[in-house]
Structure 1
Amino acid sequence: MSGALDRGQWQWENATAGAVAGFATVAALYPLDVVRTRFQVNDGQVTGLPLYKNTGHAIFTIARTEGLKGLYAGFYPAVLGSTVSWGLYFLFYNNAKQRYSKGSGEKLSAGLHLVSAAEAGALVCLCTNPIWLVKTRLQLQNPLHQTRPYSGFHDALRTILKEEGWRALYKGLGPGLLLQVSHGAIQFTAYEELRKAVINFKSKGGTKKHATGDKLLNSVDYAVLGASSKLAAILLTYPYLVIRARLQQRPSNAGIPRYLDSWHVVKETVRFEGLRGFYKGITSHLLKNVPASSITFVVYENVLNLLRPSRENK
């Protein structure tokens, strides 16, 4: 019975650490997220979208024409989505790892880390897709829009349900699932394997006497590990983000969507923009998410270390 309670406590600690880490991640560098989304959907075929030369020009233009409100458009659903996503992700991920290790606490192989991360990513995507859709649409609102703008998160949800039906909330779910599963799997597998390598290197080098396991690592290590694993995941999975963003755009006044499905996005992007079209906005995405991932893992590991003693003392 006590073992079950310990497992429940451990899962709660992981969910809490993940949620705190998610909030900290979104709160930092958010304007870069707005810029990235606007670059992603600008395929050169649709009018009504501002044109930006680069990331710096985009931030300056949005600040000048829309003010702070423009730079933080969609901030509420971003905070909600990220906090919920990270909380659920760490909960599902560690629950899967525990299940695959059969509660023995034995180290998992890279393959099982991959499966655990993929499973967690799929579950999180199903739970949070409506939040990300609303965030994308709020970020794309600008002075050039002809459609009545959403006044906020709840108004967007009500309007989407009224005008497009509940199925619209799951637009972009296909590439979202591929993104969440592959991105998370790559990132967490890379993180776990890099962490093992650093721990082995430090233990052999004797950098900290009498320290073992995670006690050998510090916040700088967590920051480097988080950034490195995130960079690998972004480079391999970024096109899914572009496809999802383009699918989640608000339909025109006539109710006609710009793209019909994921395959339509792929064909049109290849036709008019080539391979480069699938990497639009990646500069601002890297500037935001590589350091943000460092923040996430530093906060997550340190919150976990704060919570762990209370569990071990019980």
Structure 2
Amino acid sequence: MSAEASKRHQWQWENATAGAAAGFATVAVMHPLDVVRTRFQVNDGRVSHLPSYKNTAHAVFTIARSEGLRGLYAGFLPGVLGSTISWGLYFFFYDKAKQRYARNREGKLSPGLHLASAAEAGGLVSLCTNPVWLVKTRLQLQTPLHQTRPYSGIYDAFKTILREEGFRAFYKGIVPSLFLNSVDYAVLGATSKLAAILLTYPFQVMRARLQQRPSGDGVPRYMDTWHVVKETARFEGIRGYYRGITANLLKNAPASSITFIVYENVLKLLKPTTRND
């Protein structure tokens, strides 16, 4: 391996490690708001196993009172796993894409190619991590009112889903997820984070609704992405696509800062180690 190739390999490893650490830190701090957001997203007024929450604060206190810390951190393990893998893979795929685009351009990339690299990386991350996000969503939606046998944990969830619904079930919500991640990662840092959230949030709602566990008879609440779009518009209007947006804004404002602060600091810690070897 040439010195240049070795240096590039080290840089990729540093990016992936720093990204994974950033993802872990963000989830550890912000997970309770993620639980609240997910429960609001799927509550279309016709779901019987979800409690009714007045607002974000009421949801946090209600979950804490009725389900304890375990409820506020429902789905934490797949959340940590998914976020850690996502950020690690994102920075890895993003760096790879930039290298590929830069080969015939003397190392210089236009803003458009930077965005294309980010969107490509986001799409690949979705394909790799959708099963983990599906399990996280289902664990977050389990409440004392749930009528079917609850999953006992992440392993039981994967095993039960595979047995009851087959492998295809792990890719429920993949269509809105591909749009969500590709667009969200592409605009991240390129424009206002608020604008990015408003643009991509309906895709989050669609994904969460598609990833719900089927009822006792095995029939999913929503059959596909278009079904979610139609039913949400029909029964809830535009507001339906923005359920849980308050919890999402409260979560994302500090989350972005935590992610990039941890990323930059871990990267600084890793650089001297790898450069001086």
TM-score bin, normalised by smaller chain: over 0.9
Question: Secondary structure of the equivalent of 2:215?
Answer: coil
Partner of 2:148: 147
User: For the Cα contact (< 8 Å) 1:76–1:153, is it kept in 2?
Assistant: yes
Equivalent-residue separation in structure 1 for 2:193 and 2:86 (angstroms): 16
The answer to whether residue 271 in structure 2 is matched with residue 308 in structure 1 is: yes
Equivalent-residue separation in structure 2 for 1:81 and 1:312 (angstroms): 29
Partner of 2:200: 237
Percent identity over the alignment is: 71
Partner of 2:181: 180
Equivalent-residue separation in structure 2 for 1:283 and 1:103 (angstroms): 45
Equivalent-residue separation in structure 2 for 1:90 and 1:25 (angstroms): 16
Supply the AA of the counterpart residue of 2:205: V
Equivalent-residue separation in structure 1 for 2:64 and 2:115 (angstroms): 41
Question: Secondary structure of the equivalent of 2:190?
Answer: helix
Supply the AA of the counterpart residue of 1:282: I
Q: CA deviation at 1:107?
A: 4.3
Equivalent-residue separation in structure 2 for 1:15 and 1:140 (angstroms): 30
> Which of 196, 218, 226 is the aligned partner of 1:263?
226
User: For the Cα contact (< 8 Å) 1:269–1:278, is it kept in 2?
Assistant: yes
User: For the Cα contact (< 8 Å) 1:15–1:90, is it kept in 2?
Assistant: yes
Equivalent-residue separation in structure 1 for 2:94 and 2:189 (angstroms): 9
Supply the AA of the counterpart residue of 1:156: A
Supply the AA of the counterpart residue of 2:199: L
Supply the AA of the counterpart residue of 2:253: V
Supply the AA of the counterpart residue of 1:296: T
Equivalent-residue separation in structure 2 for 1:103 and 1:24 (angstroms): 37
The answer to whether residue 252 in structure 2 is matched with residue 251 in structure 1 is: no
Q: Deviations over 1:165-194 (max 9, x none)?
A: 00001100010111111111111434xxxx
Partner of 1:31: 32
Partner of 1:200: none
Question: Secondary structure of the equivalent of 1:29?
Answer: helix
Equivalent-residue separation in structure 1 for 2:189 and 2:102 (angstroms): 17
Equivalent-residue separation in structure 2 for 1:33 and 1:271 (angstroms): 26
Question: Secondary structure of the equivalent of 1:189?
Answer: coil
How many residues end up aligned between the 2 structures?
A: 276
Partner of 1:10: 11
User: For the Cα contact (< 8 Å) 1:113–1:188, is it kept in 2?
Assistant: no
Q: CA deviation at 1:22?
A: 0.5
Equivalent-residue separation in structure 2 for 1:246 and 1:292 (angstroms): 23
Structure 1's unaligned 5+ residue stretches are 191-228
Question: Secondary structure of the equivalent of 1:28?
Answer: helix
Equivalent-residue separation in structure 2 for 1:17 and 1:162 (angstroms): 36
- 1:184–1:269 CA distance, 2 compared to 1 (3 A): same
Supply the AA of the counterpart residue of 1:42: N
User: For the Cα contact (< 8 Å) 1:110–1:189, is it kept in 2?
Assistant: no
State the structure with more CA Rg. 1
RMSD: 1.5
Q: Deviations over 1:211-260 (max 9, x none)?
A: xxxxxxxxxxxxxxxxxx53332111000000000000000000011001
Question: Secondary structure of the equivalent of 1:118?
Answer: helix
Equivalent-residue separation in structure 1 for 2:97 and 2:254 (angstroms): 27
- 1:313–1:99 CA distance, 2 compared to 1 (3 A): farther
Q: CA deviation at 1:39?
A: 0.1
**Superposition pairs for residues 157-176 of structure 1, below 5 Å?**
157-176=158-177
TM-score by length of 2: 0.96
Q: CA deviation at 1:30?
A: 1.1
Equivalent-residue separation in structure 2 for 1:105 and 1:23 (angstroms): 36
**Superposition pairs for residues 88-237 of structure 1, below 5 Å?**
88-102=89-103, 106-190=107-191, 229-237=192-200
> Which of 290, 294, 311 is the aligned partner of 2:253?
290
- Runs of 4 or more above 6 Å deviation: none
Q: CA deviation at 1:29?
A: 2.0
Equivalent-residue separation in structure 2 for 1:188 and 1:157 (angstroms): 34
Supply the AA of the counterpart residue of 2:79: A
Question: Secondary structure of the equivalent of 1:184?
Answer: helix
Equivalent-residue separation in structure 2 for 1:140 and 1:59 (angstroms): 14
